[in-house]
Structures are given as C-alpha cells and as structure tokens.
Structure 1
Amino acid sequence: MQQVRHEATAVKIGTGSQAVAGAPLPLPANRSRRILGMRVDATSYDAAAEQVITWAKAGESRYVCVSTVHMVMEGHDRAEFQRIVNAADLVTPDGMPLVWGLKLLGIPSATRVYGPDLTPVVCEHAAREGVPVGFYGGTPEVLDRMIANLTARYPGLQVVYRHSPPFRPLTAEEEAREIEEIRASGARILFVGLGCPKQEQWMAARRGRIDAVMLGVGAAFDFLAGAKRQAPDLIQSLGLEWLFRLATEPRRLWRRYLYNNPRFVVLFAAQVLKGRTQWEAH
C-alpha cells in the first residue's frame, strides 16, 4: 500500500443522524464470519457496488473496509482497531486467504472483492447512476493519472472532489476545512487511499460528519494510476500476491508479510481446529 499520509485521528464514530456507532448494516443470515475476531462479509463486486450506490443515493454516511491478512493481524494485535473494522458497514474479503477462510468457515460460495478491482466497478455503477464521486489520498500526480484513466474508461463519471493530503498530522482547522470541502463538493462516494490502518481510522472518525460512502481501497490509487505493478492474475488467484509485492518493495513490506503471514496461518488453523465456525450478526 502507498505511504500513509498522516497520523491517526481520534475515533469519533458519528454524531449525525446517519451514523450508528458499532452497528454495521446486517447482511443476510450466515453471510459473515469472524476470522481471528475480525468480521469479514461474503459479498461480490456487483452486490457491494449496488449497496454502495444505494447508500450514496440516500446521502448516507457509511464506510467500507477491504480486508487483508495485514488488516486481520492489525486487529488481532490492537483491539481498538478491530472494533473500528467490525463497526464498518461492509467488510469485503480483499485477500485470497480470507476467501479461503470464509470457505473453511462454512461459506463455500465466497469470492474475492479486491480493492483495486472494486474501485472501477463502483465507478462504473456511479457513472451509470449519475452519482458524484471523490478521491482522497495519494500524491497529486497519482490522483491526476488515476482520475484520467477512470474518466476515460467511464465517460459519465462525475469526479467532484480530489485531494492529496500532506505527509503530516492535520491541525484541527485543516481537518474541519477538509470536511467542509468534501461536504460542499457534493461527493456521495469517497474513495480513500491512505493505507491500512490509517484509512480505516480516518473513515471511522468521519462517519456521520461526511455525507458520503467512504471506501478504504489502499493501494488501488497507485495501481489504477499505473504507478505500481499489480501481480499477474495467476499469482493473485494462488494467493501469492503478497510474495509479488514483497519482491517489488522488500524494504517497505518485509515486516508486514514475513511477520504477519506465518502468525495468521498458525492462529487461523487453531481457530478452525477449535470449531469456531459461526458469527452471529448483532
């Protein structure tokens, strides 16, 4: 994922009428599971995009997480972060290990909903439905290239907001100004590319303060701009995208993958062996 832009903001999960602290919209029965305590929802690209569009048309303030092994392990290590993800309105299985985890936990139809692929699917739906979108994160160059690529691909896409925040904590005045600018833009879908865990914390702190559906899509900005290479489809399908990314950015990513991945395998195997196969919606 791209370099994170600023420090975490204290989480204030909503003060407006649309915000419901810790109460994500329930999916149909038996379509969610807990993987090491983190909720993961079985959905699809079209189902997720249609839900986002429905919320966006209603002007609702919600947030969507795309979950990876890295996110699961961040939640395992930090209960506060796990609560943020579990309070999201939708948590998609971004990584293949989580798809396999859902299958092992009793959802054989589970499929991957990957941030860099979900972003254009949502943009396609937004262009067709006339829903304005915005983008928050990345460098100015990455934003320009990504938006140019998306608007060329989806000519009806209305991009009404874009912002590349500074590489430092925001002042209270800057944060308030950003929120007001997003609200004034009329964006009803806001793609957030700050990297895990900062983007999830950023979205949770603004639910109820921004009248948009926020999607934390991590490295999608860099991939869609062509600034970074994506793993070939075969490598992705084998669940080895982490190895491809480690090979391309070893100094930045070695700890994330070489420390988290083995722990995930051991801990999740223990979960399965103990028979913790159900998650009750609440």
Structure 2
Amino acid sequence: MKRNVLGVLVDATTYDEAVRAVTDAARQRRPFALTALAVHGVMTGVRDHQHAARLNSFDLVTPDGQPVRWALNALHHAGLTDRVSGPTLTLRVLQAAANEGLPVYLYGSTEQTLDRLVLNLQNTLPTLKIAGREASKFRTAHPGEDREIANRIIASGARIVLVGLGCPRQETFVHAMRPVLPMPLLAIGAAFDFHAGILRRPPQWIRRHGLEWLWRLAAEPGRLWRRYLILNPLYLLLLAAQKTRLRRLLPPPPSIQRPAEYPA
C-alpha cells in the first residue's frame, strides 16, 4: 500500500511481496515498473515535482534505505521490520527468475561491469537465463530510439528487465519504456556494481542501523558528499515538518506524459 513520504508515494511492502509482484507480471507478460528508493531517491522527487510524478506513477516503490522504512513506520504506522533494498531485491528476483525459467535482460552500467556481473551470475545462479545485455550509452536517447531498445529487448525473449543507470536516470528510463515493454522493469541502482564485485556492501550491522550511507560516503567521498551531507539532514528536517503537520504534503499528479528526452 502506498504512503506519502514528502510527496513521494512509497509502498509499505516486503521482499516476498515485491518478488511476487515482479514474477506475477513477468509470467503474465504485462508492464510493471518498480524502483527501490533510498533518501536520495525520495529527495529527487522533493526537489523536482515532475520527477515525483514519474515516481508516483510506478507500480511499486520499495523503501530501499532504513531511513525511508523508518519514515513509513513513524508517519504511517506501517510496522515494517525490514527495508527492501535494491541489491538484495535484485538477487531475490534473479533467484526466482532462475527457479521459474524467466529470462532476464540487463540494461545499464558499463561493458566491463556487465562482463563481471554476468560471470558472477553464471557462477552463483547457473540456471539463470540471461537473454541479453546492453551497457548505458551515457547520453540522451535519440528520437525513436525507445522503440529500437524495446524491439531488442522483446526479440531477446526476456521476461524481466533490470535497469542500472543510477538515480534519477534509471527511473526516467523505466517511466519512458514502461508503455512499450510487456514485462516488468526494475530500477535497481548500484546493484550491478555490488553483484559484479566492483562495490563492496557493508556488514549487516551497518545496514541494519541505517549507516550504509556513511560506508558509501567513505568509499566515494568526492562523488557522494553532497548527496549525504546536504540531502540527509534536509530529509530529516522535512520529515519532522510532515510529522508535526507544519508542512502539508500532497502528492503530485499520479502520472505524466512520457518524457521527450531520457537517458539511454
């Protein structure tokens, strides 16, 4: 069930429910858009109402970071005992896909990352069918390119598409492609890097206490300091305002037109 967190609608859901929703859509060959949002993802919607409208049109938005789970519990009494993080959800979806024979398509990141990712997946999930892969072009898509991408994915026989373009590029891509692909698309952030072995996940106790941001900041300070040292305190301030009703938050419209430009 969707709940308002600073104007972004996040689902109070679990890993099992999210995996079931994805595999159901894959078996039924129907469009389905999912993203896993941590604080940075929520704040992109706070700062850009058009992007918030994209997020609010998704079928499922999972609470990736512990602070987002805490917000659902504090604001809406969701009673969630765990978050639903992109990397872990990715692995669980891939395990389910391997068990059910549902081919997957990997879109985004670099060729080098995809090489390592595919090798690791072949070793850990030998029955997984990887229908295709396509690295990010790191540019805006050309007119008509959405159909070309869609045709390649459909021709591959894929039933699930994993999209690793980084926030908010991946959500913009998923929103644009959902109407032309009869299958679930999952925006899963840095999951490709984690499962390729390029980034190392922190110990479980750090994740459990909501300190993964500090781990990532230490690993990539030059790239991430603005995200964590500015957006995190602002997120907490706005949550306090929503909790005390000092700020009235209404979600943006539930959907918007497909963007004319989006990342490829």
Matches within 5 A, 1:78-93: 78-93=48-63
Q: Which of the residues 199, 211, 229 maps onto 2:200?
A: 229
Residue equivalent to 1:147:
118
Is the Cα contact below 8 Å between 1:33 and 1:277 reproduced in 2?
A: no
Q: Distance in 2 between matches of 1:116 and 1:270?
A: 31
Deviations 1:57-90 (A, max 9, x none): 1111111010111111110111100011111000
Q: Distance in 2 between matches of 1:37 and 1:194?
A: 23
The alignment-based identity, stated in percent, is 43
Q: Cα offset for 1:277?
A: 11
Q: Which of the residues 153, 176, 180 maps onto 2:147?
A: 176
Q: Cα offset for 1:177?
A: 2.1
Q: Distance in 2 between matches of 1:53 and 1:262?
A: 37
Is the Cα contact below 8 Å between 1:42 and 1:110 reproduced in 2?
A: no
Is the Cα contact below 8 Å between 2:13 and 2:80 reproduced in 1?
A: no
User: Do residues 42 (structure 1) and 12 (structure 2) align?
Assistant: yes
Q: Secondary structure at the match of 1:207?
A: helix
User: Do residues 188 (structure 1) and 154 (structure 2) align?
Assistant: no
2:69 partner letter:
V
Unaligned runs of 5+ in 1: 1-30
Q: Distance in 1 between matches of 2:156 and 2:41?
A: 30
| Residue range with higher mean Cα deviation, 89-98 or 159-168 | 159-168
Kindly tell me: are residues 108 and 175 of structure 1, through their superposed partners in 2, closer, same or farther at Cα, counting changes over 3 Å?
A: closer
Deviations 1:77-131 (A, max 9, x none): 1110001111100000000001111111211135211000001100111111111
| Residue range with higher mean Cα deviation, 86-95 or 164-173 | 164-173
Residue equivalent to 1:32:
2
Q: Cα offset for 1:278?
A: 11
The size of the alignment, in residue pairs, is: 250
Is the Cα contact below 8 Å between 2:146 and 2:177 reproduced in 1?
A: no
Q: Which of the residues 15, 18, 21 maps onto 1:51?
A: 21
Q: Cα offset for 1:165?
A: 2.3
Q: Cα offset for 1:169?
A: 2.2
Is the Cα contact below 8 Å between 1:42 and 1:111 reproduced in 2?
A: no
Deviations 1:171-200 (A, max 9, x none): 225443222101111111000000000100
Residue equivalent to 1:240:
211
Q: Cα offset for 1:250?
A: 0.7
Q: Distance in 1 between matches of 2:94 and 2:2?
A: 25
Deviations 1:123-163 (A, max 9, x none): 11111111111100111111121122122222211100100
Q: Distance in 2 between matches of 1:76 and 1:93?
A: 16
Is the Cα contact below 8 Å between 1:183 and 1:210 reproduced in 2?
A: yes
Is the Cα contact below 8 Å between 1:43 and 1:110 reproduced in 2?
A: no
Q: Cα offset for 1:273?
A: 1.4
Is the Cα contact below 8 Å between 1:189 and 1:214 reproduced in 2?
A: yes
Is the Cα contact below 8 Å between 2:7 and 2:249 reproduced in 1?
A: no
Q: Distance in 2 between matches of 1:133 and 1:177?
A: 18
Kindly tell me: are residues 88 and 80 of structure 1, through their superposed partners in 2, closer, same or farther at Cα, counting changes over 3 Å?
A: same
Q: Which of the residues 81, 99, 108 maps onto 1:128?
A: 99
Q: Distance in 2 between matches of 1:186 and 1:120?
A: 20
Q: Distance in 1 between matches of 2:9 and 2:60?
A: 9
Give the TM-score, by structure 1 length.
0.84
Q: Cα offset for 1:168?
A: 2.0
Q: Distance in 1 between matches of 2:94 and 2:120?
A: 11
Residue equivalent to 1:262:
233
Give the TM-score, by structure 2 length.
0.90
Q: Secondary structure at the match of 1:215?
A: strand
Q: Distance in 1 between matches of 2:196 and 2:140?
A: 25
